[in-house]
């Protein structure tokens, strides 16, 4: 098979490039050398591990659904609206992407905590959010939403409006256009955004521990459990880390860029 020859890269570039790849891969490989393979099945199926994993999967799924419900309309508005304040809105919405998650957790407490802006009012209706599983979902949604919005907005902009215009000229109402043309055309972008949001939710730590705490069974997700165990039971921490690595590998396989692997 013939291959197109690109302009040659300078040879020295390969040295730092390989170093960068090694820097990412080496720690993960190093971790697998520390694993007590014989004890692995017991460690990952212990009562605490199973409840943490289930909680992680449940809350991450819930937050992914929430990201979809909120993020798809938001991405559509960001991609299609021509209003002047859209640029400002985009900058604000992407804030969690650059904010340290701990700060996100403190912000969520300020809004939904017992003494928070909305939390106080919710309390009067008997709704308590902070330090519950709902808080875990909110923390995960807060940090994951930008991932979905960014990839979907990019896909929408790339797809452009030409097909939407044709659909409208054929008599399709805006809702029909969105459902039958706009979203189906960006399905790959939507799918990868969803998987990224799920992965980010699964790994969420800082905002969760700040806003939801670490209560076994209700708010102690897998990353929180690993953090707890790393001093008392290092073997278990490493074993559970491997579970998250496995999930990450699956995620990358799902959203890998075209042509990779």
Partner 1 sequence: MSVQARVVVEDRGIDVSFDVADGETVALLGPNGAGKSTTLAVLGGLLRPDAGQVVLDGQELTGPGRWVAPHARRTALLAQDPLLFPHLSALENVAFGPRSTGTGRRTARAAARHWLAEVDAAELAGRRPARLSGGQAQRVAIARALAAEPRLLLLDEPMAALDVAVAPALRTLLRRVLTGRTTVIVTHHVLDALLLADRVVVIEGGRVAEQGPTAEVLSRPRSAFAARFAGLDLVAGTATPDGVRRPDGLLLHGTLGDPAPRPGADAVAVFRPSAVAAHKEPPGGSPRNALPVTVTELEPLGDLVRVRAGELSADVTVASVAELGLAPGVAVTFVVKATEVDVYAR
According to the binding rule CB under 8 A, does residue 169 interact with partner 1?
A: yes
Q: How many residues bind partner 1 (CB under 8 A)?
A: 19
According to the binding rule CB under 8 A, does residue 41 interact with partner 1?
A: no
According to the binding rule CB under 8 A, does residue 191 interact with partner 1?
A: no
Q: Quick count: other Cβ atoms within 10 Å of Cβ 107?
A: 18
According to the binding rule CB under 8 A, does residue 158 interact with partner 1?
A: no
According to the binding rule CB under 8 A, does residue 214 interact with partner 1?
A: no
Residues 147 and 193: beta-carbon distance below 8 Å: yes
- Residue of 241, 257, 178, 236 lying closest to 32 (CA atoms): 241
According to the binding rule CB under 8 A, does residue 84 interact with partner 1?
A: no
According to the binding rule CB under 8 A, does residue 21 interact with partner 1?
A: no
According to the binding rule CB under 8 A, does residue 258 interact with partner 1?
A: no
According to the binding rule CB under 8 A, does residue 70 interact with partner 1?
A: no
What is the token pair recorded at 244? 């998250």
CA 115 to chain centroid = 28
CA atoms of 254 and 191, how far apart (whole Å): 9
- Residue placing its CB nearer to partner 1 in the complex, 177 or 225: 177
According to the binding rule CB under 8 A, does residue 188 interact with partner 1?
A: no
- Residue of 211, 237, 184 lying closest to 101 (CA atoms): 211
- Residue of 114, 78, 71, 83 lying closest to 211 (CA atoms): 114
According to the binding rule CB under 8 A, does residue 248 interact with partner 1?
A: no
According to the binding rule CB under 8 A, does residue 255 interact with partner 1?
A: no
Of 57-65, 165-173, 208-216, 227-235, the segment contacting partner 1 by CB under 8 A is: 165-173
Residues 173 and 246: beta-carbon distance below 8 Å: no
- Residue of 166, 162, 164, 185 lying closest to 175 (CA atoms): 164
- Residue placing its CB nearer to partner 1 in the complex, 114 or 179: 179
- Residue placing its CB nearer to partner 1 in the complex, 34 or 173: 173
What is the token pair recorded at 144? 């994951």
Helix, strand, or coil here: 199? helix
Of 33-41, 74-82, 184-192, 199-207, the segment contacting partner 1 by CB under 8 A is: 184-192
- Residue placing its CB nearer to partner 1 in the complex, 40 or 191: 191
CA atoms of 249 and 242, how far apart (whole Å): 10
Of 4-12, 101-109, 167-175, 199-207, the segment contacting partner 1 by CB under 8 A is: 167-175
Angle of helix 187-203 relative to helix 222-232, nearest 10 degrees, comes to: 30
**Where on the chain is the footprint of partner 1 (CB under 8 A)?**
162-163, 165-174, 176-177, 180-181, 184-185, 187
């Amino acid at each position: 098979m013939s291959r197109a020859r690109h302009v040659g890269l300078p040879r020295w570039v390969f040295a730092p490039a390989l170093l960068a790849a090694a820097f990412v891969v080496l720690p993960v490989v190093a971790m697998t050398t520390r694993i007590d393979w014989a004890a692995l099945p017991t460690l990952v199926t212990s009562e605490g591990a199973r409840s943490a994993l289930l909680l992680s999967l449940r809350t991450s799924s819930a937050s992914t659904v929430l990201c979809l419900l909120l993020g798809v309309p938001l991405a559509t508005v960001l991609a299609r609206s021509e209003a002047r304040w859209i640029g400002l809105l985009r900058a604000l919405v992407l804030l969690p992407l650059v904010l340290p998650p701990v700060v996100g957790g403190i912000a969520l407490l300020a809004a939904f905590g017992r003494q928070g802006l909305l939390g106080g009012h919710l309390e009067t209706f008997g709704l308590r959010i902070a330090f519950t599983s709902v808080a875990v979902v909110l923390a995960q949604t807060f940090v994951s939403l930008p991932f979905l919005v960014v990839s979907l907005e990019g896909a929408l902009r790339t797809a452009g409006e030409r097909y939407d215009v044709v659909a409208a000229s054929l008599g399709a109402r805006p809702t029909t256009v969105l459902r039958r043309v706009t979203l189906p055309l960006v399905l790959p972008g939507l799918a990868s955004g969803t998987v990224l949001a799920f992965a980010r939710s699964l790994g969420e730590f800082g905002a969760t521990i700040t806003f939801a705490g670490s209560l076994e069974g209700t708010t102690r997700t897998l990353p929180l459990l690993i953090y707890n165990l790393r001093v008392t039971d290092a073997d278990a921490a490493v074993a559970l880390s491997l579970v998250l690595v496995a999930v990450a590998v699956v995620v990358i396989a799902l959203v890998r860029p075209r042509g990779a692997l």
